[in-house]
Structure 1
Amino acid sequence: MRGILLGLTLALASGQGALAERIISLGGTVTEIVVALGHEGDLVGRDMTSTYPESVRAVPDVGYYRQLAAEGVLSLTPDLILADADAGPPEVVAQLQAAGVKFVQTAPDEGIENIAAKITTIAAALGEEAKGAELVAKVTADLAAVQAEAAAVEGPRKRVVVILAVQGGKIMAAGQDTTGELMLALSGAENALQGFSGYKPVTDEAMLAAAPDVILMMDRGPETMSNADLFALPALKGSPAAADQAVIRMNGVKLLGFGPRTAEAARELLTAFYGG
């Protein structure tokens, strides 16, 4: 007993925060924050979008965080479940919350200021408030720097379309009031698609009228659509982007997850849009 108490005292004295727990992280950005706060070694489960850093791929996968099964999550006997705001379905979230396991969910994405709130929420759940404050300060400074760089861009802004997916020749893209549009603003570009909110299928006519200079799309590895196939679509064939073969591909969590790498992603886009 004295040994256990001594170990606890030493752990707390060393500034390691909360005791190690069996953590399941549901959401790629949530997992990135857990790792950034020094708790990768406590992860016993993660969802399929949690692929950064590469080392977390060795952690058992409980499935897509929006389509969870309570049995699969609870079979890993977690002490703490950290979940993205969009984790679901709702009935499974209710089961997890009622299972007697500590369940913490982040707030929905409502802008870049929510990154700090996400980090603070997860840091508090881990007992890492000091590390959380340090990470918030770094992320806030990085975001301010890239915003200043974007504001300093001279000349016309690039008109960009953010494509989530192409299915059966139909393009699903980001309209107004989306994280895709927020990322474009952060990187000094304009959303070429206006007049609707959310992520929706876009008609060929609407895409032709948008006339994007650049296409920004998710990097899906071997399943990513090639430039040739993309610009063979009638909706994009005659666009300025097609003429310049202007396509940027980025990991979806890095691009739209609004986490610790958001400033890095915005700076990469800024460079790709306007050069070094």
Structure 2
Amino acid sequence: MKQHAVIRCLAILAAASFFCGSAGAQQAQRIVSLGGTVTEIIYDLNMQDKLVADDQSSLYPEAATKLPRVGYYRAVPAEGILSLKPDLVLASENAGPPASLEKVRSVGVDVITVSDKPTLNSLYERIDQIAQALDVPEKGKALAADIQARVKQAQDTPSESLRTVLILNRTGAKLMAGGDTTASAIMEMAGLENVLKSQHGYKPVSAESLLALKPEMIIVTKGSLQAAGGIDQFKADPAIAFTPAVKNNRIVVMDDLLALGMGPRVDLAISQLKAAAGHAN
């Protein structure tokens, strides 16, 4: 009798486990994504039909900008997310604040945070995590392999190694990308020298600092250029005007997400920078 009871109990547990696993794979019908590259990966996996909202950093593809927005992924209100009635939130590990995400979890919504560091390995890990969460692991493997091949091809293109800096302007104060940033990682993958690599994170720009760094190429995001009033005003800024980059007309304007996010189009970012740098002698 005892043996039959044990066998029956194990059978019930196995069935429950199977049911929960199957439900977990099928339950994500209303997804909120937090992070531009998270959203982009969802589109690349062709799972965008489940997206009900994203955040303000989701700038690509254009269709992503038409979805309801829940704020900026680093400062999302829990109420904004919950108002969309999601059953899954896919969030960059940099999303927050933590209290907001915890509040979303507390009402039973599944919140999965994914790797989001300034490295290619983190990108591949992020793709795998998102693909697993959406129950399309094979699509994730195919996407990662395709990106890896495209990155290799882009990096194999010869170009000059120039002293480079990326300038960002989001709140009125111009910043330069230092080391341990996605912008710096992409510069290095393109064979460029980030002149501010020794500094951590983003640092304020001054005319004195830029003149001392002598950048031969300046990268500026489209959003930053718009905030500056256009290319002519950007070049006329005292912190920019007397740099070798302006003198040699090497100002590269890049899509914000392409320059600042380690996403599926990283090969395109590398190719654009190599083309701007010119061929190696």
Normalised to the residue count of structure 2, the TM-score between the two structures is 0.84
1:30 is displaced (CA, Å) by 0.4
Structure 1: 5+ residue stretches without partners: 1-11
Is 1:231 the counterpart of 2:235? The answer is yes
**Contact 2:34 2:91 (C-alpha < 8 Å) held by counterparts:** yes
1:89-138: CA deviations, max 9, x gaps?
12212212322111111123141111100000000000010111110111
State the SS of the aligned residue for 1:200.
strand
Give the alignment partner of residue 69 of structure 1, picking from 55, 73, 77: 77
Q: What's 1:187 paired with?
A: 190
Give the alignment partner of residue 151 of structure 2, picking from 143, 147, 154: 143
Q: 1:166 to 1:176 in 2, by over 3 A?
A: same
Is 1:54 the counterpart of 2:62? The answer is yes
**Contact 1:26 1:46 (C-alpha < 8 Å) held by counterparts:** yes
Q: 1:194 to 1:137 in 2, by over 3 A?
A: closer
Q: Give, as a single letter, the amino acid of the residue that structure 1 aligns with 2:52.
A: V
Root-mean-square deviation over aligned CA pairs: 2.2
Q: Give, as a single letter, the amino acid of the residue that structure 2 aligns with 1:130.
A: E
1:189-228: CA deviations, max 9, x gaps?
1112244111111333221111111110111174354232
Q: What's 1:158 paired with?
A: 162
Structure 2: 5+ residue stretches without partners: 1-21
Q: Give, as a single letter, the amino acid of the residue that structure 1 aligns with 2:184.
A: E
Distance in 1 between the 2:170 and 2:86 partners?
37
**Contact 1:62 1:68 (C-alpha < 8 Å) held by counterparts:** yes
Question: 189-198 vs 20-29, which deviates more?
Answer: 189-198
Q: Give, as a single letter, the amino acid of the residue that structure 1 aligns with 2:174.
A: I
Q: Give, as a single letter, the amino acid of the residue that structure 1 aligns with 2:71.
A: G
**Contact 1:227 1:245 (C-alpha < 8 Å) held by counterparts:** no
Distance in 1 between the 2:267 and 2:207 partners?
33
Distance in 1 between the 2:171 and 2:249 partners?
21
Q: 1:212 to 1:225 in 2, by over 3 A?
A: farther
**Contact 2:211 2:242 (C-alpha < 8 Å) held by counterparts:** yes
Q: What's 2:108 paired with?
A: 100
Q: What's 2:96 paired with?
A: 88
Q: Number of residue pairs matched?
A: 256
Distance in 1 between the 2:123 and 2:55 partners?
20
Structure label with greater radius of gyration: 2
Q: 1:31 to 1:146 in 2, by over 3 A?
A: same
Q: Superposed, which structure 2 residues align to 1:232-251 within 5 Å?
A: 232-251=236-255
**Contact 2:164 2:193 (C-alpha < 8 Å) held by counterparts:** yes
Normalised to the residue count of structure 1, the TM-score between the two structures is 0.86
Distance in 1 between the 2:228 and 2:205 partners?
19
Q: What's 1:256 paired with?
A: 260
**Contact 1:164 1:217 (C-alpha < 8 Å) held by counterparts:** yes
Distance in 2 between the 1:224 and 1:62 partners?
26
Same amino acid, percent of matched pairs: 36
State the SS of the aligned residue for 1:249.
strand
**Contact 2:28 2:87 (C-alpha < 8 Å) held by counterparts:** no
**Contact 1:187 1:269 (C-alpha < 8 Å) held by counterparts:** yes
Q: 1:59 to 1:166 in 2, by over 3 A?
A: closer
**Contact 1:30 1:82 (C-alpha < 8 Å) held by counterparts:** yes
1:84 is displaced (CA, Å) by 1.2
Q: Superposed, which structure 2 residues align to 1:100-139 within 5 Å?
A: 100-139=108-147
Distance in 1 between the 2:191 and 2:220 partners?
17
- Runs of 4+ with deviation above 6 angstroms: none
Q: Which has the higher helix share?
A: 2
1:236-256: CA deviations, max 9, x gaps?
222111212321111211222
**Contact 1:158 1:213 (C-alpha < 8 Å) held by counterparts:** yes
Q: What's 2:181 paired with?
A: 178
Is 1:201 the counterpart of 2:204? The answer is yes
State the SS of the aligned residue for 1:231.
helix
